[in-house]
């Protein structure tokens, strides 16, 4: 199935009609972001220590001297190989690998992984991630152990949680999804409202190729056929 074919005049008219809705959507997004900036904040335990590359690291040190911290959580399937780790988390973190613009605004970016540091450190190295990873394995602290994307503000020696989101809120980390939304067939997922006959993939296998999360194929030695991990 394909879209209807029309002349350019008709196409421009239809595009202009959609553009009006897109601009309204953008303005509503701006309004939501403004409301987000006005949310109250709640204090979290600043004495919490997580395990990172340098060993146990206090929450205040994770800010790396900046006033704000943005964290993305990564699931971990303990004892499993690289190919069996969370496909959604892999896609999310892979789609965001350079925090330079965040840092320029005083925001440190870090990944908090649910597994033991010694177990996931080789995975971080394999994927080539540059952002610091810390283990929240065994940590049960409100504002630290919950939430999938969480933001914090440091005020002196105190730390406050300002926002968190999960589910599709995490798509903000995945520009590939927004780009797919611009294509004629979209994400090809069953939940999408697409015309009858549009291609759909009920398995969401765009996350997976030949048994591995798709981003891992950029890291494999072709000679290994992906068997090493």
Q: Delineate the domains of the chain, giving CATH numbers in brackets.
A: 42-171 (3.40.30.10)
- In angstroms, the Cα distances linking 79 to 23, 112, 119, 163, 227 are 47, 18, 8, 32, 17
- Average confidence score pLDDT of the chain: 92
Higher pLDDT, 48 or 204: 48
Q: What is the pTM of this model?
A: 0.90
Higher pLDDT, 111 or 146: 111
Confidence band of 221 (pLDDT split at 50, 70, 90)? low
| 146 backbone dihedrals φ, ψ, rounded to 5° | -105, 170
Question: Does pLDDT of 165 surpass 50?
Answer: yes
Give Cβ neighbours of residue 58 (< 8 Å, ≥ 6 apart): 46, 47, 48, 49
How far apart CA 197 and CA 60 sit, in angstroms, is 53
pLDDT value, residue 143: 94
| 61 backbone dihedrals φ, ψ, rounded to 5° | -70, -25
């Amino acid at each position: 199935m394909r879209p209807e074919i029309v002349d350019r005049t008709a196409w421009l008219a239809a595009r202009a009609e959609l553009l009006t809705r897109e601009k309204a959507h953008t303005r509503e997004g701006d309004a939501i972001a403004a409301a987000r900036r006005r949310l109250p904040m709640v204090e979290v335990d600043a004495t919490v220590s997580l395990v990172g590359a340098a060993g146990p690291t206090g929450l205040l040190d994770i800010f790396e001297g900046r006033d704000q911290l943005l964290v993305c959580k990564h699931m971990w399937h303990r004892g499993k190989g690289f190919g069996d780790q969370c496909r959604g988390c892999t896609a999310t973190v892979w789609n965001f690998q350079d925090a330079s613009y965040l840092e320029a605004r005083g925001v440190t970016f870090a990944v908090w992984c649910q597994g033991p540091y010694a177990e996931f450190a080789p995975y971080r190295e394999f994927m080539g991630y540059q952002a610091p990873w810390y283990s929240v394995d065994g940590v049960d602290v409100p504002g630290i152990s919950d939430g999938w994307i969480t933001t914090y503000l440091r005020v002196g020696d105190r730390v406050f949680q300002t926002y968190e989101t999960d589910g599709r809120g995490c798509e903000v980390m995945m520009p590939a999804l927004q780009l797919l939304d611009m294509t004629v067939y979209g994400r090809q997922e069953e939940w999408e409202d697409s015309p009858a006959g549009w291609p759909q993939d009920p398995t969401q296998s765009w996350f997976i190729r030949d048994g591995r999360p798709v981003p891992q194929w950029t890291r494999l030695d072709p000679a290994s056929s992906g068997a090493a991990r």
